[in-house]
């Protein structure tokens, strides 16, 4: 099942309860301000069963951010994006599960928060595009590149939830 709404994504347990299918993982970096919502039931982050890597950095280096957003380097907002991302702590996470890239992007909402549905992260916590609070990989290939950029292999765990057999065939 591929969820069509954030509610279905969360209720499906694809990100909340277990790992499965292919080991397609998605890197996320939730930015300044998001930290105040994490872990308080206000920011829908999957439980430990869906997260295979997570770390809070005191701040990402400019070089790391420039490499992460390299595909945007020719856009007029690039310098402002790097400056904003460098202005505070970053929480980087890896989520794993069946269809996690698509499911995660449903949970994120549209890049422009004004176009995001209520119940999505951007719909609930963002106002302006330049401060859209969270990044999500757009493909498994992008995720693999971004995970390698933000994490060392030993920082990722191969975790299997006891609920996995209840969720995945």
What's the confidence (pLDDT) of residue 22?
40
**CATH of span 6-152:** 3.30.70.141
**pLDDT higher for 115 or 43?**
115
What pairs with residue 90 in β-bridges?
31, 57
Q: Decide: 1 and 12 in contact? Cβ < 8 Å.
A: yes
Alpha carbon distance 115, 117 (integer Å): 7
- Cα–Cα distances in angstroms (integers) from residue 103 to residues 2, 68, 95, 123, 150, in the given order: 7, 22, 10, 16, 21
Mean pLDDT of the chain: 72
Alpha carbon distance 52, 49 (integer Å): 8
pLDDT single digits (tens) 117-156:
999 989 988 898 888 788 888 888 888 888 888 888 888 8
What pairs with residue 57 in β-bridges?
90
What's the confidence (pLDDT) of residue 47?
40
pLDDT single digits (tens) 58-92:
678 999 999 999 999 999 999 998 988 888 888 88
- What does the domain layout of the chain look like in residue ranges? 6-152
Tell me what percent of the residues of the chain surpass a pLDDT of 70: 64
**Secondary structure element (H or E) that encloses residue 50, with its range:** none
What's the confidence (pLDDT) of residue 51?
58
Please choose, from the candidates 7, 150, 1, 25, the residue with its C-alpha nearest in 3D space to the C-alpha of residue 100.
Answer: 25
Alpha carbon distance 132, 126 (integer Å): 5
User: In this model, does residue 19 exceed pLDDT 50?
Assistant: no
135 noted as active-site residue: yes
What's the confidence (pLDDT) of residue 74?
98
Which candidate in 37, 68, 86, 135 is catalytic? 135
């Amino acid at each position: 099942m591929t969820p069509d709404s954030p509610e279905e994504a969360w209720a499906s347990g694809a990100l909340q309860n277990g790992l499965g299918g292919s080991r397609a993982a998605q890197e996320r970096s939730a930015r300044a301000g998001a930290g105040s919502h994490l872990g308080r039931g206000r920011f829908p982050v999957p439980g430990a069963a869906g997260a295979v890597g997570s770390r809070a950095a005191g701040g990402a280096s400019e070089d790391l951010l420039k490499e992460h957003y390299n595909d945007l380097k020719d856009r007029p907002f690039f310098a402002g994006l790097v400056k904003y991302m460098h202005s505070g702590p970053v929480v980087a996470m890896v989520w794993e599960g069946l269809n996690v890239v698509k499911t995660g992007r449903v949970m994120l909402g549209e890049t422009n928060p004004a176009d995001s549905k209520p119940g999505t992260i951007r719909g609930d916590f963002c106002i302006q595009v330049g401060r859209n609070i969270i990044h999500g990989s757009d493909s498994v290939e992008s995720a693999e590149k971004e995970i390698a950029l933000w994490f060392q292999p030993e920082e990722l765990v191969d975790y299997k939830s006891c609920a996995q057999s209840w969720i995945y065939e």
